[in-house]
Structure 1
Amino acid sequence: MVVSLVAPRLMVMGGGAVAKLGEVLGQLGLSRPLVVTDPFMLSSGLLERALEPLRQAGMVPAVFSETVPDPTDTVIAAGVAVLAAGEYDCLVGFGGGSPMDTAKAMAILAAAPAGARMRDFKVPAAANRGAVPIICVPTTAGTGSEATRFTVITDTETDEKMLIAGLGALPLAAVVDHELTFGLPARITADTGIDSLTHALEAFVSARANPVSDDYARSAMRLIAPNLRRVWADPQDAAAREAMMRGATLAGLAFSNASVALVHGMSRPIGAHFHVPHGLSNAMLLPAVTAFGLEAARPRYAEAARVMGIASEAEGDQAAAQRLVEELRALNRDLAVPSPARWGIDAAKWEGLLPLMAKQALASGSPANNPRVPDEAEIVALYQASYGASA
């Protein structure tokens, strides 16, 4: 079996790694960074953790801080204008998934002919060119964007969350420092943690899984599953924070080389139409979607349960796979994940958008990787089942 793999050229990981950011750029021959971040990173002072090492290396970093949650094509266009106005030789995405995805999309759009729009690059198009290299510094243990060839951008005219994939979105380097996550609110810790677990699990059962992505996914699940409740209960648990951060990056490597599946396909429209944070919308869907696909890939789900420490080696596949679904429901309960209804989404608006959301989910391509591939009616039914479901 021939496996084609993608990963950043350089990855620096561990507590205090962000202090080496200037050194990383220097190793790569880069010296004129535009740092892409969000207003909170700027106002909270956390951004200084990235800017100071750059200054110490003799660089004069500029900052684009207009990133928004669920980054939009309009924000990308504004960022490209800033990029074009300076003589920058790289983009540094600093923050959660939104700043990193914004930096990726800026690089892709800046390399395109005049008049191009982000919608021109949505899957199945291949976004293989970037105008400048991207260096990612994650501040959450969740998206894995620092290690992937994907970015997700919302089209403001259609309210569609567009999956964009290609080598143009692959970071040249990543600096992964779990100490940047100590101040995260509990809700973000939980949502990004379940996001990373979803990445690993979906990569493991994906139709595009391969032996190497399986290795990444297994390692990620072993790290995330026993530590997610620990960081929720004790945000200062350094060992658990480190395990979660390493697990999130490994999960990113897993799905970047195998792809995600139905949970992500259904999650993106929820984020686009109702502005639910990505990790939270994944968590809302994960138990129901896992149960939907269980019988189509029972041995794989059973192995995932064993890897996560939920089922014993002695248990048969049927019992182990069922334990996985039960654990995902329990995890949502323990981490106080609300249903869409409890999060405050209006029932009539939810119901009215389901046909469009189902079409958008299928169009993303991710559902085709699911062990059990749904049609539109089955996706609508899963949305309906998840709306008011208690974990």
Structure 2
Amino acid sequence: MVNRMILNETSYFGKGAIKEIVSEFKQRNFQKALVITDKELIKFGVATKVISLLDTAKISYEVYDGIVPNPTIQVVKEGVVAFKKAEADCIIAIGGGSPIDTAKAVGIIVANPEFEDVLSLEGTAATKNPSVPILAVPTTSGTAAEVTINYVITDEVNHRKFVCVDPHDIPIVAFVDSDMMMGMPESLAAATGMDAMTHAIEGFITKGAWELTDMLHIKAIELIGRSLRDSVAGNQIGREEMALGQYIAGMGFSNVGLGLVHGMAHPLSAWYNIPHGVACASLLPTVMAFNKDYTGEKYREIARALRLKDAEILPLNVVREAAITAISQLSKEVGIPSTISELGVKAADIPAIAEDAFRDVCTPGNPREASVSEIIDLYQSLL
């Protein structure tokens, strides 16, 4: 079997890493950037940390700040127009998954205009050209959008999210700077952090997992497990460790896929605009329980990474339950709702939502196959 790994060309890590953006821009002979971000990041001075560096270095740029949570087809189309109007030759994406995912879609469409309808990018579209160069600056510790070949767009008309998987979309440079993440409120740190934990666990047990990605996911689980609480509390070291942990998880899952948690989370966000990380976290323990008998010794390895007592010697069925309980407790401690009814999910919608989850591109990667009726049962158990 042949396994493929695709990663960033260059990444910078640590406090102050964004200062390298000027040298990267100039060394690559870029002339003008379109900065893609959102109004809140500008309002609260997060994006301006990067913009001020551009101003000082006299780098030419224009800003598109029309990004919304769970970015839509229309947002992407507006971004394409903004890029062309700016006559830019690169994109600087500042934010969490929404700005960076939008930047990927914009960059791909500018380089491959035959996909300008956006919808045709779903799945593994046969794009011919690499994206417009993207320099990515994450401001959350969770999505790993800066290192993955995936992005997610919302089709508002049909109440669905669709996943795009394209090696051509990966940012050429990432700047993973904990200073950029210190502005996250506790709720966002918790949601994105549990999204990262979901990436690590699903990537570890997905059907496509192999030794190299297993190594990455286990280290990510260890880092996230020990640092998420501190990150949520606003501790800088915790946020720096989370920034690294979520990036490492992204290195793995981007190359092997995810599973049913993400398959079920995407329609929840599309139907109710639930933050993606919250949707994932609310589902994770239940789906872990659903999968447990199809994972071999992997839950023992998760338990070891979480430093659970006697993980080495406990019977397999016991250590599996201990790993699930530990994840459930972590989620509870950082304030994630334990039921989806708390998120506004309506019982009457579940059959249609389950159909969307069954068709989601992430669902086939799950270690245990799930029917529509089983997905309905899982949703209903969380009401």
What TM-score, normalized by structure 1, do the two folds share? Answer: 0.94
Alpha carbons 1:160, 1:360 under 8 Å: kept: yes
Q: Partner of 1:245 in structure 2? A: 243
State whether residues 216 and 250 of structure 1, in contact with CA within 8 Å, keep that contact through their aligned partners in structure 2.
yes
Q: Is 2:352 the partner of 1:353?
A: no
The root-mean-square deviation of aligned C-alpha atoms, in Å, is 1.6
CA contact under 8 A between 1:22 and 1:56: conserved in structure 2? no
Residue-by-residue CA offset, 1:54-76 (whole Å, 9 max, x unaligned): 23333122110000000000000
Q: Structure 2 matches for 1:255-274, cutoff 5 A?
A: 255-274=253-272
Alignment of 1:1-391 (within 5 A): 2-113=2-113, 116-127=116-127, 129-232=129-232, 234-235=233-234, 237-311=235-309, 312-338=311-337, 339-343=339-343, 345=344, 350-387=346-383
User: Residues 383, 126 of structure 1: CA spacing in aligned structure 2 closer, same or farther, 3 A cutoff?
Assistant: farther
Q: Which sections of structure 1, spanning at least 5 residues, go unmatched? A: none
Supply the AA of the counterpart residue of 2:365.
Answer: N
Matched residue count: 381
Q: Is the 8 A contact 2:61 2:88 kept in 1?
A: no
SS of residue in 2 equivalent to 1:243: helix
SS in 1 for 2:250: helix
Moved over 4 A (4+): none
CA contact (8 A) 2:227 2:238 kept: yes
- 1:319 and 1:239 mapped to 2: Cα distance? 33
The answer to whether the 8 Å contact 2:115/2:121 transfers is: no
Q: Is the 8 A contact 2:300 2:312 kept in 1?
A: no
Q: What SS is found at the alignment partner of 1:253? A: helix
Cα distance in 2 for partners of 1:120, 1:80 equals 15
Structure 2 distance, partners of 1:128, 1:285, is 36
Deviates further, 182-191 or 47-56: 47-56
Q: Tell me by how many angstroms 1:138 deviates.
A: 0.3
The whole-number CA distance in structure 2 between the counterparts of 1:115 and 1:201 is: 33
Mapped contact 1:298–1:318 kept (Cα < 8 A) = no
2:50 is matched by which residue type in structure 1?
A: A
Tell me the distance in 1 between the aligned counterparts of 2:376 and 2:164.
Answer: 24
Q: Which amino acid aligns with 1:260?
A: L
* Runs of 5+ unmatched residues, structure 2: none
- 8 Å CA contact retained: 1:35, 1:61: yes
What SS class does the counterpart of residue 381 from structure 2 fall into? helix
**Distance in 2 separating the partners of 1:328 and 1:131:** 37
The code of the aligned residue for 2:156 comes to T
The answer on whether the counterparts of 2:131 and 2:169 sit within 8 Å (CA) in structure 1 is no
TM-score, normalisation: structure 2: 0.95
Secondary structure of the corresponding residue to residue 303 of structure 1:
helix
The Cα shift of 1:137 comes to 0.5
Rounded Cα–Cα distance in structure 1 between residues aligned with 2:373 and 2:107: 37
SS at match of 2:69: coil
In structure 2, C-alpha distance between the alignment counterparts of 1:145 and 1:115, rounded to whole Å: 21
In 1, Cα distance between the equivalents of 2:28 and 2:167? 18
Identity score, percent: 32
